[in-house]
Amino acid sequence: MKKRDSHYDILFEQVQIGPVKARNRFYQVPHCNGMGYLRPNTLAAMRGVKAEGGWAVVCTEEVEIHANSDNGSAVEGRLWDDGDIPALAKMAEAVHEHGALAGVELVHGGYSNANNYSRIVPIAPSLTSVNSYDPVQARAMTKSDIRDFRRWHRKAALRSKRAGFDLVYVYAGHNLTLLMHFLSRRFNKRNDEYGGSLENRTRLFREVLEETIDAVGDSCAIAVRFAVDELLGPKGITCESEGREVVEMLAEIPDLWDVNISEWENDSATSRFEKEGYQEPYISFVKSLTSKPVVGVGRYTSADNMVSLIQRGVMDMIGAARPSIADPFLPKKIEEGRIDEIRECIGCNICVAGDWLSVPIRCTQNPTMGEEWRRSWHPERIGPKKSDDVVLIVGGGPAGLECALSLGKRGYDVILAEASEVLGGRVSKESQLPGLSEWRRILDYRETMLKKMDTVKIYRSSKLNLRDIIEFSSKDKFGFSHVFLATGARWRRDGIARKHQNPIPGLKKIRVMTPDEVMNGVSPSGRVVIFDDEHYYMGGVIAEKLRLEGLKVILVTPAPDISNWTHHTMEQRRIQSRLLELGVELATQQNLVSVSSNEVELACVFTDRRTRHECETLVLVTERLPNDEIYNALNVRQEELKEAGIKTLQCIGDCFAPGIIAAAVHSGHLAAREFEENSSYEVPFLRERVVV
């Protein structure tokens, strides 16, 4: 094991948090995961791996304290009654097994929840519509309701202690909690002792905090999570005024301050719009107002930046959600002098999408995330090889690189042949698009790790065809017995996707380009129309790139808004705002129905009303076609493959089925994990079942 640089020793100092002590300064703040009350085994295994990886504190996601705060389709934690204790106790036990402290984030969502499951009328400081498009209003709380809320929170704190948690949160952040709603002038219109002045609006926050300390503070640390700035200027709480004043009022009451900004889409902004450390200007004042430990976040992956934050007195513990997902072993790698092996978060928010979709969390960088229990995958360990067979991987994109790395870790001899001089495939190209530079970390991490492996040999500028693969398999050449094809995919030129099952009429009459050509440096000319029927980031980012190059751009989509799927990554609003600011013309709910010389015809998706728009270059962002020609050609030559000593042939990644980068990485990892293993199961992973 390497010895860490003494410069990082400060990160491994113990921190006293009220009655408990953290073994170092690494703090996994609460984060959602799509596991919650429905998948307690999955949750426990995922959190346990974080503790094993060196995080001193490992927290839950939001844990609802009562049926009056029902987060609907989201799969969060619950402590509605004693029956919910065992599921969360399982997580606390998994965290304790590796010497870490377990924290629980208690929450009441107030007007943020429509209570569609419980059908209980939501509550809020004042009468208001719920924070969604549900036709539901939250009723104004009476004094009796306030007493009930305080009682529910106290009971949940006591249940948390019985479940084995070491830290209990009082949560006022993200504009998603009842306590934050009481603090806000926008939502608290009361004229009693809980409304009006900031001191009155802080009253309930103080009461709940003091009552939680009274209930469990003898053995549990009491943490406050508070959004010091809503990024709304004078309309909201700001770090210069009310955010600062709240901290001043309550400074010494909690055992720890976990501070951030609101709303969630700001707190967890993607790397396309915010870089590492972007929250520091908002939260840096807190440490000067309290003697208690302060935790902050900012998608920190640089150990040097972490040290700087501690030395400059910005925070006492390095908070992380997404970096702990991308690399659960980030603390241990710093501790053991393996900083170059950190799997750095790329800030794409695929992890967040899991929560919005109510499925277990996934990660572009870390394909084992969410698979710890159901597939028994560990981020740092993998089963040994089952034979001395040599493996050929054709294609050095995200799937091929991940497959090569994982097979190399298993001990297999691997030959990786990449057609171009540059590794990374789509990642190396897409990371050059506006705002996506940190996506290159997908390549950088794998290339760094592969360079350390004697068992993996990489051949660049090595485009292989069918005959090459068969010929090179011989013992006197490379002697491989297994072939994985990771040759990627290419964007279609015919417009076929969701709205069109047949080619769009008239495409031969106009200059048509694909994202591949734009990324390869081919320049469009004249007025550009982009037709986006894929609905993730590509249409919007291509529009941004071309507009920045000075072209007139109209972005057309059949969806209700631009880059519609990015609602799941919480960047849709920023994407559409950026394009409007740049002067990109947006045409939503419009289908591209035909093309003629220098013109395109659009149709309203509801009325079919037609409009025509000038166009010299049409960029189609629709579907992609797998580059599976070599696979198809080899697959029909089974006898020839057998004679050449090739035992197996398999497509992985976009070559198998085009998808997002996270899916390609997962595909490569899955192929490596399952290689030469028994796969005679009907369902390829464990499921958590409802017991009847």
Q: Where are the domains of the chain?
A: 6-356, 390-488+627-674, 491-625
Residue 570, CA distances (Å) to 133, 354, 435, 532, 537 in order: 17, 12, 15, 19, 12
pLDDT at 158: 98
398-410 and 441-451 helices, crossing angle to 10°:
30
Active site residue 403: no
Q: Do domains 390-488+627-674 and 491-625 have the same CATH topology?
A: no
pTM (two decimals) = 0.96
Phi and psi at residue 107, to the nearest 5°: -145, 145
Token pair in block for residue 560: 């209700």
Instruction: Tell me the per-residue pLDDT of 519-533, one tens digit each, with 9 for 90 and over.
Output: 999 999 899 999 999
Active site residue 32: yes
Give the class (CATH, top level) of 6-356. Answer: alpha beta
> Which amino acid makes up residue 44?
A
For tokens 């940190």, the residue is 438
In angstroms, the CA 498 to CA 174 distance is 35
Question: What Rg, from alpha-carbon coordinates, does the chain have?
Answer: 27
In angstroms, the CA 298 to CA 280 distance is 7
pLDDT at 476: 72
pLDDT at 678: 81
Active site residue 171: yes
Residue 508, Cβ density class (10 Å: 0-12 exposed, 13-18 middle, ≥19 buried): exposed
Positions of the chain with pLDDT under 50? none
85-96 and 40-52 helices, crossing angle to 10°:
20
Neighbours of 264 (CB within 10 A): 18
Token pair in block for residue 193: 């002792």
Catalytic residue among 27, 171, 194, 537: 171
| Positive or negative torsion for Cα 59, 138, 83, 377 | negative
Neighbours of 570 (CB within 10 A): 21
Catalytic residue among 166, 258, 267, 413: 267
pLDDT at 418: 98
Beta pairing partners, 258: 225, 295
Neighbours of 345 (CB within 10 A): 28
Catalytic residue among 153, 174, 535, 669: 174
- Which of 227-251 are b and which e, b meaning 16 or more Cβ less than 10 Å from the residue's Cβ? bbbbbeeeebbbbeebbbebbeebe
In angstroms, the CA 74 to CA 32 distance is 9
Active site residue 153: no
- Which of 76-115 are b and which e, b meaning 16 or more Cβ less than 10 Å from the residue's Cβ? bbbbbeeebbebbbbbbebbbebebbbbbbbbbbbbbbbb
Catalytic residue among 32, 220, 345, 615: 32
Q: What is residue 130's three-state secondary structure?
A: coil
- Could you tell me if residue 346 is left (phi over 0), alpha (psi between -120 and 50 degrees) or otherwise beta? alpha
- Which of 200-216 are b and which e, b meaning 16 or more Cβ less than 10 Å from the residue's Cβ? bbbbbbebbbbbbbebb
The DSSP 8-state label assigned to residue 383 in this structure reads P
Phi and psi at residue 62, to the nearest 5°: -60, 135
pLDDT at 71: 86
Question: CATH assignment of 390-488+627-674?
Answer: 3.40.50.720
Domain 491-625 architecture: 3-Layer(bba) Sandwich (3.50)
In angstroms, the CA 134 to CA 131 distance is 8
DSSP labels for 17-64? ETTEEESSSEEE-----S-GGG-HHHHHHHHHHHHHTT-SEEEEEEEE
Beta pairing partners, 656: none
